[in-house]
A and B are shown apart, each in its own frame.
Chain A
Amino acid sequence: MTFGVEDVSVTFGDTTALRDVTIEVPAGTVVAVVGGDGAGKTTLLRTLVREASPDAGRVSAPAKAELGFLPASSGSWAALTVAQNLDFAAGAYGLTGAARDERRSELLAAADLTAAKDRLASQLSGGMRRKLGFLMAIVHRPGLVVLDEPSTGVDPVSRVDLWRLIAQEAASGAAVIMSTTYLDEAERAGHLVVLDGGEVLVQGSYDEVRATFSGTVTSASTPVREAWSWRRGHDRHEYWPDDDASADREVVAPDLEDIVIALSLVRRLAGVSA
């Protein structure tokens, strides 16, 4: 089963949040949506869960009972315990009694939260709370799991834990789409989508994205063209869309961060002499 959006555009007043976006989220795959602030990541996810209304295009998503969603906020009720939060979410999806208890135990064990089951959500660390939110989103074994920046603000150890859970959910057959600002996470996804200004700059597997990327990225302490450069460590990387880099520049193999920034610059500086 493949979910997704086709030629979707979403506007808020005079602002176009998404323009002609087409994305597929196949079952058993993690799709990572990356992009800077205001790129349209959250709007895309909200459109998939029918919280934002498209002005044009088609949305293919399951019914609410088959949908799991973790919003950008904590996704859990602060004054409820971990177990109560899970039970509420389970109840909302019709999971009750022994089946609910069994599922709760299974999820808590998988997320290493069994010992914290009676703690209030407000007393959890950021990472534990995001894990709880994720468990609430998948408690009913949904066909489509939509996660809005699940790992933002989460410490590295918890991020690894969270990724393991997300990957397990996809492996069990769910279609997972998540937004993230961490490009290393996006590289691990089966399919990644780079958004900027509401438009898809590129999408595919990490290898496909790298293979289709054209132009040259160079590294130097001072760039030739400031507008086409960005800081990486102590140096500045510079993008040459037409492969016409100065001979004195060191050419580097672009990683995902370079690709995302370079493609964003192309879009923003269209018309500016390269």
Chain B
Amino acid sequence: MIVKEFRELLRDRRTLGLLVGLPLILLVIFGYAANFYVDHVSAAVVGPQAEQVAASLPELFEVETVDADATDADARDLLRDDEVDVAIVTGSGAPTALIDGSNLFAAQTILGAVNATAGKIEPEVLYNPDLTTAWVMVPAIIGLILTFIGTIVTSIGLVREREAGTLEQLAVMPIKPGTVILGKIAPYFLLAAIDMAVVTVLGMLLFDVPFNGNVLVFALGAAIFLFAVLGIGVFISTISQTAGQAIQSAFFVLLPQILLSGMIFPLDAMAAGVRWIGYILPLTYFTKISQGVMLRGAGIDSLWPSFVVLTVMAVVIFTAATLRFRRDLAPERKVRA
């Protein structure tokens, strides 16, 4: 029995990968990425005393902008556009540190450092004044839910056709492969969109999470992100013969998105060796968009880099996945019939 089990296991590459790869992935992630401590924050110092104040800041602050002519409004714009984690506004009185509360761990670190100045700098937390964890997590959780539906539910739905043999039936029917793919994906797209709306509204009602930005910008980001994760789901379905295999494969995709997208551990606090993984994950960019729109009221003008990256990802992943799926529906002709 034991020998039989080992023989089966050695031929089940996915389970083997899960057994061998997962501990390694978890070890690497928790060793290098699981870090809540932020040891540097990006800062801007504006106003008449900018030079002097910038020079006196603790090492924690990596001053990127010093502008004596800039105003309080300019400082707030820098924060809203996610240019810096903190903007210090100098003037006649004590400087005010405007802290981006949507970047939770950085904000907590900055607040600690500012409080340690014993009143020399006054803190003002924007976008998340009480540094409530739920305010930061809810926009990220929306992305996670979309990822779950787009990746796991979609891939299982598609693999079920293969398992039941009905994919073959569809391939023979006079339905274009593109129509089959669209027909299979559209319900999941719609369900994910409804889920997203429900979670967003519930998050606002239950946890008082604000929605400061434009709903259309948020919806556009979500739609692009959905195409990316649906593409991953379709791709997984093309490399899986059973629902079990699809779930195993989806697990490999979901785990890094949860742990390395910045939704739990701040990207800035991760070791560079694993941080790059976070930057190739779609959820990283959707989280930037959802937190930016909901908490900071950011618009396309400041979020466009995330939109561009997400769009490129969505186009590449979705196209590659649907081309693979089409191949299952319409095999390439070796000889013209």
Q: Which residues of chain A have a CB within 8 Å of any CB of chain B?
A: 49-61, 63-65, 67, 69, 71-78, 89, 92-94, 136
Cβ-neighbour of A56 out of B165, B166, B171, B335 (below 8 A)? B335
CB–CB A51/B168 < 8 A: yes
A72: chain B residues at CB < 8 Å are 165
Q: Which of A58, A63, A71 is B165 in contact with, Cβ under 8 Å?
A: A71
CB of B172 closer than 8 Å to a CB of A = yes
Inter-subunit contact A71/B168 (CB<8 Å): yes
Do B165 and A57 have beta carbons less than 8 Å apart? no
Among B166, B168, B334, point to the contact of A53 (Cβ < 8 A): B334
Residues from chain A with a CB closer than 8 A to the CB of B332 are 53
- In contact, A54 and B166 (Cβ under 8 angstroms): no
With A73-B164, A74-B165, A78-B164 known to touch, is A53 a contact of B172 (CB < 8 Å)?
A: no
Query: In the assembled complex, how far is the CB of residue A59 from the closest CB belonging to chain B, in whole angstroms?
Result: 4
Residue B133 at the A interface, CB < 8 A?
no
Chain B residue nearest to A63 in the complex (CB): B174
Q: Which residues of B in the span 114-168 have a Cβ within 8 Å of any Cβ on A? A: 164-166, 168
Whether the pair A64, B173 counts as a contact (CB closer than 8 A) is yes
Tell me the bound Cα distance from A50 to B331 in angstroms.
8
Taking CB atoms, residues of chain B closer than 8 Å to A75 are 165-166, 169
The smallest C-beta distance from A152 to any residue of chain B, in angstroms, reads 13
B175 CB within 8 Å of chain A: yes
Number of B residues with CB within 8 Å of any CB on chain A: 16
Report chain A residues within 8 Å CB of B169. 69, 71, 75, 136
Q: Report whether B168 and A50 are in contact in the complex, using a CB–CB cutoff of 8 Å.
A: no
Task: Indicate if B337 sits at the interface (CB-CB under 8 A).
Answer: yes
Given A54-B334, A56-B335, also A49-B172 (CB < 8 A):
yes
Q: Please, could you name 19 A-B residue pairs with CB atoms under 8 Å apart, sorted by A?
A: A50-B172, A50-B333, A51-B172, A51-B331, A52-B331, A54-B335, A57-B335, A59-B337, A64-B174, A65-B174, A69-B172, A71-B168, A73-B164, A73-B168, A74-B166, A75-B165, A75-B169, A78-B164, A93-B173
Q: Contact: B164 with A74, CB < 8 Å?
A: yes
Distance (Å) between the CB of B127 and the closest chain A CB? 45
Cβ–Cβ < 8 Å partners of B337 in chain A:
50, 54, 58-61
Q: Scan B319-337; emit 1 where CB is below 8 A from any A CB, else 0.
A: 0000000000001111101
Q: B335 contacts A55, CB within 8 Å? A: yes
Q: How far is the CA of A214 from the CA of B166 in the complex (A)?
A: 43
Residues 173-196 (chain B) with a chain A CB within 8 angstroms: 173-175
**Residues of B near any A CB (own CB < 8 A):** 164-166, 168-169, 171-175, 331-335, 337
Whether the Cβ atoms of A73 and B166 lie closer than 8 Å is yes
- The answer for the CA separation of A122 and B166 in the assembled complex, in Å, is 13
Measured in the bound complex, the distance between the Cα atoms of B334 and A61 in whole Å is: 16
With A50-B337, A53-B332, A57-B335 as contacts: A89 and B165 at CB distance below 8 Å: no
Q: How far is the CB of A60 from chain B (nearest CB, A)?
A: 8
Contact A53 B331 (CB under 8 A): yes
> How far is it, in angstroms, between the C-alpha of A77 and the C-alpha of B170 when the chains are bound?
11
The 6 closest A-B pairs by CB, nearest first: A73-B165, A64-B174, A59-B337, A69-B172, A53-B334, A92-B173
* Chain A, residue nearest B329 (CB): A51
Do the beta carbons of A92 and B174 come within 8 Å of each other?
yes
Q: Which residues of B contact A51 (CB under 8 A)?
A: 168, 171-172, 331
Residue of B nearest to A67 (CB): B172
Residue pair A64, B335 in contact (C-beta under 8 Å): no
A54 / chain B contacts, CB cutoff of 8 Å: 334-335, 337
CA distance A53 to B331 in the complex (A): 7
Minimum CB–CB distance from A3 to chain B (whole Å) comes to: 11
Q: How far is the CA of A118 from the CA of B37 in the complex (A)?
A: 60
- Cα(A56)–Cα(B331), bound, Å: 16
List residues of chain A with CB within 8 A of the CB of B165: 71-75
**Which residues of chain B are near A73, meaning CB under 8 Å?**
164-166, 168
Please, which residues of chain A bring their CB within 8 A of the CB of B173? 64, 89, 92-93
Give bound CA distance, A78 to B165, whole Å.
11
Docked Cα-Cα span, A252 to B125, in Å, equals: 99
Give every chain A residue within 8 A of B166 (Cβ-Cβ).
71, 73-77
Nearest CB on A from B322, distance (A): 19
Instruction: Report A150 CB to chain B, min CB distance, Å.
Output: 13
Q: How far is the CA of A56 from the CA of B336 in the complex (A)?
A: 9
Chain A residues whose C-beta falls within 8 Å of the C-beta of B171 in the assembled complex: 51
Q: Which B residues lie within 8 Å of A77 (CB)?
A: 164, 166
Known A-B contacts: A59-B337, A69-B168, A93-B174. Give 4 more (CB < 8 A). Answer: A53-B333, A58-B337, A69-B169, A71-B168
Q: Report the nearest A residue to B328, measured CB to CB.
A: A51
Q: How far is the CA of A143 from the CA of B161 in the complex (A)?
A: 26
Expressed in whole angstroms, the Cα–Cα distance for A60 and B337 within the complex equals 7
Distance between Cα atoms of A136 and B331 in the complex (Å):
23
**Can you name the residue of chain A whose Cβ is closest to the Cβ of B163?**
A73
- Please name all residues of chain A whose beta carbon is closer than 8 Å to the beta carbon of B172 when the two chains form the complex: 49-51, 64, 67, 69
Distance from B234 Cβ to chain A, minimum over Cβ atoms (Å)? 19
The complex places the Cα of A73 from the Cα of B164 at a distance, in Å, of 7
Contacts of A65 in B (CB 8 A): 174
Report the bound CA distance from A147 to B226 in whole Å. 39
**A212 CB, min distance to chain B CBs, angstroms:** 30
Q: Which residue of B lies closest to A93 (CB)?
A: B174
A51, A65, A76, A93 pick with most chain B CB within 10 angstroms: A51
Task: Across the interface, name the chain A residue whose C-beta is closest to B337.
Answer: A59
Closest CB in chain B relative to A42 CB, distance in Å: 10
